[in-house]
């Protein structure tokens, strides 16, 4: 019975993670319940999220959601460099102020996402700006990483005026690449539980496939509502954690 609950949670994690964000929290919760040591749990989580976002990315690519692959390449590869640099500053920001900053960014992102109409062109134009934004996003992932998918979607939507669906697709590719590299690092240190990772991967793949298909079906406008609800729940969770400290 307990195993079935874990598999259903993994299925749900794959769905919400692919639809918008939150899959990593659910997967980490499962690994915690399975009493996996924290370092190995994080390594196994990187494996699971890489699989989740890979499936999402393939679905989005096959359905023609991503229209400008050159921008995707620039954002993705510059984010890798940013993540590498950011990892050196991992301890630079105390936990509590960091959470407040993240909550603030999420609320600002939600405001701009819901209050502005889609624009015909990007606010920031040119490969250089794309590289700068990708570097900054990657740096954030390397330093904090809290609610990174939502921050990514907000930044991509705000600076490049992509609709919510395409911004979500670009974010999934960036998250996949960064998590896959992190997974390889953990794997090289024998900090991945492959048994649990493979077991959870099957429901995660199914959930991710359904989540991406659902995102495409409901379209950018309705996905904005999903984004807003996800942001509010994430901010509520962050503030709750701060109040409990």
For the segment 151-191, what is each residue's pLDDT rounded down to a tens digit?
Answer: 888 888 888 878 889 999 999 999 999 889 888 888 988 98
Query: What is d(CA 70, CA 78) in angstroms, rounded to the nearest whole number?
Result: 12
- Phi first, then psi, for residue 18 (nearest 5°) are -80, -40
Query: What is d(CA 14, CA 21) in angstroms, rounded to the nearest whole number?
Result: 9
Q: What is the DSSP string of the chain?
A: -HHHHHHHHHHHHHHHHHHSS-HHHHHHHHHHHTT--HHHHHHHHHHHHHHHHHHHHHHHHHTT----HHHHHHHHHHHHHHHHHHGGGTTSS-HHHHHHHHHHHHHHHHHHHHHSPPPSS-SS-SHHHHHHHHHHHHHHHHHT-TTHHHHHHHHHHHHH---HHHHHHHHHHHHHHHHHHHHHHHHHTT---HHHHHHHHHHHHHHHHHHHHHHHHHHHHHHHHHHHHHHHHHHHHHHHHHHH-
Read off the tokens for 16: 């919400």
Q: What is the pLDDT of residue 119?
A: 52
Q: What is the length of the chain?
A: 245
Integer CA distances (angstroms), 167 to 84, 143, 231, in order: 23, 22, 15
Q: Do 18 and 55 meet the contact criterion of CB atoms below 8 Å apart?
A: yes
Digitized pLDDT (tens) for each residue of the chain, 245 residues in all: 677 888 899 999 999 989 888 888 788 888 888 888 878 888 898 899 999 999 999 999 999 998 888 889 999 999 999 888 876 665 566 767 777 877 887 787 777 766 655 555 566 677 888 899 899 888 877 766 667 888 888 888 888 878 889 999 999 999 999 889 888 888 988 989 999 999 999 999 999 999 999 999 999 888 888 888 888 888 888 788 777 65
Query: What is d(CA 108, CA 215) in angstroms, rounded to the nearest whole number?
Result: 23
Query: What is d(CA 8, CA 23) in angstroms, rounded to the nearest whole number?
Result: 13
Query: What is d(CA 80, CA 174) in angstroms, rounded to the nearest whole number?
Result: 8
Q: What is the pLDDT of residue 137?
A: 86
Tokens 């954690």 correspond to 241
Q: Do 208 and 56 meet the contact criterion of CB atoms below 8 Å apart?
A: yes
Q: What is the pLDDT of residue 6?
A: 84
Q: What is the pLDDT of residue 110?
A: 76
pTM: 0.84
């Amino acid at each position: 019975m307990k195993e079935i609950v874990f598999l259903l949670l993994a299925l749900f994690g794959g769905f919400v993670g692919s639809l918008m964000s939150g899959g990593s929290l659910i997967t980490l919760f499962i690994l915690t319940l399975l009493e996996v040591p924290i370092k190995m749990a994080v390594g196994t989580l990187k494996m699971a999220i890489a699989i989740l976002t890979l499936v999402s990315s393939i679905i989005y690519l096959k359905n023609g959601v991503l229209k400008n692959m050159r921008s995707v390449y620039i954002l993705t590869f510059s984010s890798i460099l940013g993540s590498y640099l950011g990892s050196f500053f991992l301890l630079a920001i105390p936990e509590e102020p960091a959470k407040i900053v993240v909550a603030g960014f999420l609320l600002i992102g939600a405001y701009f996402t819901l209050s502005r109409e889609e624009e015909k062109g990007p606010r920031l134009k040119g490969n250089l700006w794309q590289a700068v934004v990708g570097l900054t996003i990657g740096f954030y992932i390397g330093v904090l990483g809290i609610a990174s998918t939502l921050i990514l979607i907000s930044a991509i939507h705000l600076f490049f005026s992509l609709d919510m669906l395409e911004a979500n697709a670009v974010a999934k590719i960036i998250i996949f690449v960064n998590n896959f590299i992190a997974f390889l690092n953990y794997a090289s240190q024998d900090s991945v539980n492959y048994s649990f990772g493979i077991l959870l991967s099957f429901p995660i793949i199914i959930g991710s496939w359904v989540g991406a298909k659902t995102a495409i079906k409901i379209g950018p406008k309705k996905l904005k509502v999903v984004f807003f609800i996800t942001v509010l729940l994430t901010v509520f969770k962050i503030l709750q954690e701060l109040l409990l400290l």
